[in-house]
Structure 1
Amino acid sequence: GILGFAGLNLLGVAESGLICVVAATVYAAGKTFLWPTMLAVVSEQFPKGGAITIGAIGGVGMLSAGLLGGPGIGFKQDYNASQELAKNAAVYERYQTATESAFFGFKVKGLDGAKVGVLGDNGKELARAQEMAAKSGKTDENTAALAGWWAEASKTAAEDKKLVDAAGLYGGRQALKLTSFVPAAMAVLYLLLILYFKARGGYKAVQVDGAAPAGH
């Protein structure tokens, strides 16, 4: 847990590829012990549950990652990126989304991915989409709206790109730093488990027949 916390914080401040590799290695070393340890403790303390209990624990973990982890990290990234870009109100207004995103009651108008994408390739993909639409004789309202926006936004694209890229990088780094508190919290919980088992005379695996395991 502590290594996971340290690794994510290192990733949040990394400035070079080498530091990223080192930070990811530290994080991996910490993360390696969390999931196997959890499954081992559950299987040894609740042996009657068998595969169903292990499967349930795995399911809860995947649901937590999908319903809380992914959206939570994305929200933190959007929030911090938008707050950073909002220091330049005019640029933020050009690239913010039309609708708010929410996570557990917290709301923010993040950056519009389509607009940021157009800025990233200087409108090349948008021009290709317009060309294809013209050849097919079809009109796409979203593409047309984006093209209208880009006609004006392209005038300040060179200056905007630096600020938008910096805001995106800042948002990602802050998300990593905040996420680092998850493995830190797990480290605290595992420490409490260690103290709990120590208070009971030490860790012992529970046997289905009630007999103490060999070597304990």
Structure 2
Amino acid sequence: MDTQLTEKERKVLFWACFLSLMAAGVGFAYRVMVLGDWGNEFNLTDAEKGRIFGASLWPIAVMMILFSLIVDFVGYKRSMYLAFILQATAAVLTFLAKSPSALYYACLCGGLGHGIVEAVINPVCASIYTTQKSKMLNILHAAWPAGLVAGGSVVILCASLGWHWNALWLIVPVVIYGVMFIGAKFPVDERVRAKIPYSVMLKDVGFLSSSIASFLLVHELTTVFTGSAPSIYTSLIAGLIIGAIFGAITKSIGKPLYFILCLLMVPLATTELGTDAWIKELMTPVMGTYAGWALVLSAFIMMILRFQAGFLTNRFSPPTILVISSFFSMLGLIALSQVSGPLVFGAFVLYAVGQTFYWPTVLGLASEQYPEGGALSLNTVSAIGLLSVGIIGSPIIGVFNDNHTTNNVKELSTEVYEGSKKEANFFGASYEATDKAKAKEIAEKVGKEAELDTAIQKSGRQSLFTVALAFPLVMLVCFAIIGFWYKSRGGYKPRVLEASWE
């Protein structure tokens, strides 16, 4: 039965969805800020810290894809209450944690809940604002940086004041959105209202995009459950086999442009999330103790601009907005690699402006052009982005940093270079890296400790410049081509399956 929502009902539902994503952002910010403290308290190795924190990440993509396939049968409200239970459990377990295993399960619950939230709120937003998808998805996803700002600010302020602030406060935004969902009315999904069969929903993804998603899922889940990453070729072959089976069942190769969007999520997610993961470490030598606040500033700018998304969506098509975003993120990263002192904050503004509209605009584009794909077309492209950051994006930035460090050390001193070089591996390809601990030890002996610190700092800034050329520039060109393609076909026009009730 079709659910006709009043304006008030839509607003209540939208802001409940907003708060659910904000709650996920608050939890993420908390975990990022206190991960080092957990390591000290429980005497964790870097690998153990990575495993615990990773438990809050990989389930997001898994649950997004899983619930995209079943949410129409389970129902939006029941799905959101499962997310509520998981996120509330995550907060309580974090508060009560007395061991690394308890922290692991707390992060796991947080990740599972976050994935369900994303799987539900994206199609809900697209279904209640069928003619304003790009604008409203941008506003909805202002919740993520809002959560980062709130969570990061609380942790940093409490740490600076010397207050012991436990994790139980993380449950506050979870309880608020849970209460809001009690009386909320949910729409029937846009695809279901238009009576488009479930089998048709699967066709947009088809063989092509399901192969990418399967490759990334196989690689990630094998790594998680076996403790070691499989060969890239093993994951790729498994992904192609699963994709071929999916393609045969759906009798579809998939939509080519949708496949291209999925591919572009790799550099897009790396530019946005992968760079965020490195930016504090890379900029600490320049900004010192203020590096943590820089991320909060970036998230604050993103939050404010996403609330104003209508200014852009009313004037430009999604491909054009993505071109503009690519330009600003490239400019921001280049500036971050060159400037120092107060100018660093100006560069951060450019960087924040650039990454602001990336993710929700791609979601808007996918939903506007492939509405018959329902929740699956929306959430698969997002899940691919999330998975690619950890599997491809962040490691690539690490390779950039390793290469620049090695080259700088080599220029500094042959003795330090020869004594500290080691072999590293990226997807089966070996390359030369530097053991920084050994390099510092040798540098002390030869009286070049200060020069080595300068060389390492320089490599971080060089990495930002390389990232700017490797990812935003590529996206700028690709989204420009997509924009020209739409122009050649009479201009960009959103597809609406039926008349909206707005």
Work out whether residues 332 and 349 of structure 2, in 8 Å CA contact, stay in contact via their aligned partners in 1.
yes
Aligned-partner SS, 1:203? coil
Q: 2:487 aligned with 1:162, yes or no? A: no
Matched residue type, 1:48: E
CA distance in 2, matches of 1:7, 1:188: 17
TM-aligned CA deviation for residue 109 of structure 1:
2.8
Query: Is residue 103 from structure 1 mapped to residue 391 from structure 2 by the alignment?
Result: no
Instruction: Identify the residue that residue 495 of structure 2 maps to in structure 1.
Output: 206
Structure with greater Cα Rg: 1
- Whether the 8 Å contact between 1:12 and 1:174 is mirrored in structure 2 is yes
- SS of structure 2 residue aligned to 1:5: helix
Q: Tell me what 1:69 maps to.
A: 393
Matched, 1:34 2:358: yes
Partner of 2:328: 3
* Aligned-partner residue type, residue 200 of structure 1: R
Distance 1:33 1:21, change over 3 A: same
Q: Which blocks of at least 5 consecutive residues in structure 1 are unaligned?
A: 120-149
Q: Secondary structure of the equivalent of 1:109?
A: strand
SS in 2 for 1:180: helix
Number of the residue aligned with 2:484: 195
How many Å apart are 1:70 and its aligned residue? Answer: 0.5
Which string of whole-angstrom CA distances, capped at 9 and with x for unpartnered residues, describes residues 157-192 of structure 1?
Answer: xx2322321221222122111110211211222211
CA contact (8 A) 2:443 2:452 kept: no
| 1:103, distance to aligned residue in structure 2 (A) | 2.8
Q: Distance between the aligned counterparts of 1:163 and 1:111, measured in 2?
A: 15
Partner AA of 2:451 in structure 1: L
The CA distance in 1 between the partners of 2:461 and 2:430, in whole Å, is 20
Moved over 6 A (4+): none
C-alpha separation in 2, matches of 1:203 and 1:58: 22
Following superposition, the deviation at residue 9 of structure 1 comes to 0.5
Task: For 2:455, give the aligned amino acid.
Answer: A
Task: For structure 2, list consecutive stretches of 5 or more residues without a partner in the other structure.
Answer: 1-325
Query: What corresponds to 1:49 in structure 2?
Result: 373
Superposed, which structure 2 residues align to 1:108-119 within 5 Å? 108-115=431-438, 119=440
| Paired position in structure 2 for 1:128 | none
**SS, match of residue 202 in structure 1:** coil
List per-residue Cα deviations over 1:115-159 (Å, max 9, x = no partner). Answer: 46xx4xxxxxxxxxxxxxxxxxxxxxxxxxxxxxx5x77533xx2
Aligned partners of 1:85 and 1:91 also within 8 Å: yes
Take 1:12 and 1:4, find their aligned partners in 2: how far apart are those partners? Answer: 12
Q: CA contact under 8 A between 1:4 and 1:184: conserved in structure 2?
A: no
After TM superposition, give the deviation of residue 8 of structure 1 in Å.
0.4
Secondary structure at the counterpart of residue 425 of structure 2: strand
Task: Provide the rounded CA distance (Å) in 1 between the counterparts of 2:443 and 2:329.
Answer: 41
Q: Residue in 2 aligned with 1:133?
A: none
Structure 1, residues 57-110: CA drift from partner, whole Å, max 9, x if none? 11111122111110101011111111111121101223333xx11335654332
Task: Determine whether 1:80 maps to 2:370.
Answer: no
Looking at structure 1, the residues matched to 477 and 378 of structure 2 have their Cα atoms a distance apart, in angstroms, of 23
The residue number in structure 1 matching 2:109 is none
Is the contact between residue 3 and residue 26 of structure 1 (CA under 8 Å) also seen in structure 2?
Answer: yes
Q: Deviation of residue 111 (structure 1)? A: 2.0
Q: Tell me, in whole angstroms, the C-alpha distance in 2 between the residues paired with 1:189 and 1:153.
A: 45
Structure 1 residue 113: Cα displacement: 4.1
Residue 101 of structure 1 aligns with an amino acid whose one-letter code is A
Q: 1:106 to 1:164 in 2, by over 3 A?
A: farther
1:94 lines up with 2:419 in the alignment: yes
Identical positions, percent:
33
TM-score of the aligned structures, taking structure 1 as reference length: 0.72
Q: Closer, same or farther in 2 for the Cα pair 1:160/1:107, shift >3 Å?
A: farther
Return the alpha-carbon distance in structure 1 between the equivalents of residues 480 and 343 of structure 2: 29
Instruction: Provide the alpha-carbon RMSD of the alignment.
Output: 2.3
Equivalent position SS for 1:198? helix
